[in-house]
């Protein structure tokens, strides 16, 4: 005869309620239930819990299903066979619990699937957004490159070489002056990099007066400088970061005359 402890530890109460035991095992469990009131209370509680779970997860069928089922049943001759009420209830309970478990598993699978699809969708949306940003950046770069290409290849553009002097012998810049369009484009990639507290600044000489054409930004190759009317020469100096209101003549590194 099985002990109550063994029945609990091996999960025989659950299997008993779900109808998974053999006839011999059922008799052993029922014999133990009659002899152990506490075991019987445990089984009743477990049965109530399973029944509650089954009802909580039950899904109401469409209203027309019941009427169709009753119509079919009324057409069939049924022989009634008396059943053991407790065993019959346990069978129904086992079916209900199994369906509830199946419903729970299916719901969890669907929930996981939906979450996975949402994550995939979010990833695709993020990748699309990144691609759009890349396309916009490429379009901007192309537009800027096209603008510079047209500026330096304009028939009215005058190409001027600003070579470095003894203050910066390796310096080299190219300026494109277009009097018709009143524009000055500077190719500054040949200028040596300065310390963070220094900047290059460009000046136009008009009747002996140096007029500011703008600070040359660091890490920028092509720059549109300010066009100055009647300028006679272009000059580049090294100034404090952010530029100066007047040129530091001793820091002149390059100049070129327009005529």
Q: Where are the domains of the chain?
A: 1-57+85-153, 157-257
Q: Are 239 and 251 in contact (CB under 8 A)?
A: yes
Q: How far apart are CA 149 and CA 140, in angstroms?
A: 14
Distance, CA of 163 to CA of 224 (rounded, Å): 19
pLDDT value, residue 83 = 43
- How many other CB atoms are found less than 10 A from the CB of residue 207? 8
Which pLDDT score, from 0 to 100, does residue 120 have? 79
Cα 243–Cα 245–Cα 250 angle in degrees, nearest 5: 75
- What would be the CATH architecture of the domain defined by 157-257? Sandwich (2.60)
pLDDT per position in the chain (259 positions), as tens?
Answer: 567 888 888 888 888 887 888 888 888 888 888 888 888 888 888 878 777 776 665 555 555 545 655 665 565 554 544 444 454 555 555 555 555 555 555 555 566 666 777 787 788 888 888 888 887 787 777 777 787 778 888 999 999 999 999 999 999 999 999 999 999 999 999 999 999 999 999 999 999 999 999 999 998 889 999 999 999 999 999 999 999 999 999 999 999 999 7
- Tokens standing for 220? 């920028």
CA dihedral sign of residues 222, 225, 227, 233: negative
Give the integer Cα–Cα distance in Å for 247 and 210: 7
Structure pTM? Answer: 0.48
Start-to-end Cα distance in the chain:
120
What is the reported pLDDT for 169? Answer: 95
């Amino acid at each position: 005869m099985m002990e109550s402890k063994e029945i609990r530890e091996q999960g025989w109460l659950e299997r008993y309620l779900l109808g998974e035991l053999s006839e011999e095992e059922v008799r052993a469990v029922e014999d133990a239930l009659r002899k152990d009131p506490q075991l019987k209370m445990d089984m009743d509680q477990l049965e109530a819990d399973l029944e509650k779970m089954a009802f909580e997860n039950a899904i109401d069928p469409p209203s027309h299903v019941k009427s169709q089922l009753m119509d079919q049943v009324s057409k069939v001759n049924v022989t009634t066979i008396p059943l053991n009420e407790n065993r019959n209830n346990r069978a129904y309970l086992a079916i209900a619990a199994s369906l509830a478990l199946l419903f729970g598993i299916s719901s969890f699978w669907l929930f996981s699937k939906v979450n996975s699809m949402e994550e995939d969708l979010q990833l695709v949306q993020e990748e699309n957004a990144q691609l759009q940003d890349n396309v916009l950046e490429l379009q901007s770069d192309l537009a800027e490159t096209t603008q510079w290409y047209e500026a330096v290849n304009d028939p009215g553009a005058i190409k001027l070489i600003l070579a470095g002097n003894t203050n910066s012998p390796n310096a080299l810049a190219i300026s494109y002056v277009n009097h018709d369009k009143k524009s000055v484009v500077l190719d500054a990639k040949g200028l040596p990099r300065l310390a963070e507290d220094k900047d290059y600044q460009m000046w136009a000489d008009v009747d002996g007066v140096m007029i500011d054409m703008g600070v040359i930004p660091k890490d920028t190759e092509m720059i549109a400088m300010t066009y100055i009317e009647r300028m006679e020469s272009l000059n580049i100096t090294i100034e404090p970061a952010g530029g100066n209101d007047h040129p530091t003549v001793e820091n002149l590194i390059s100049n070129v005359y327009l005529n």
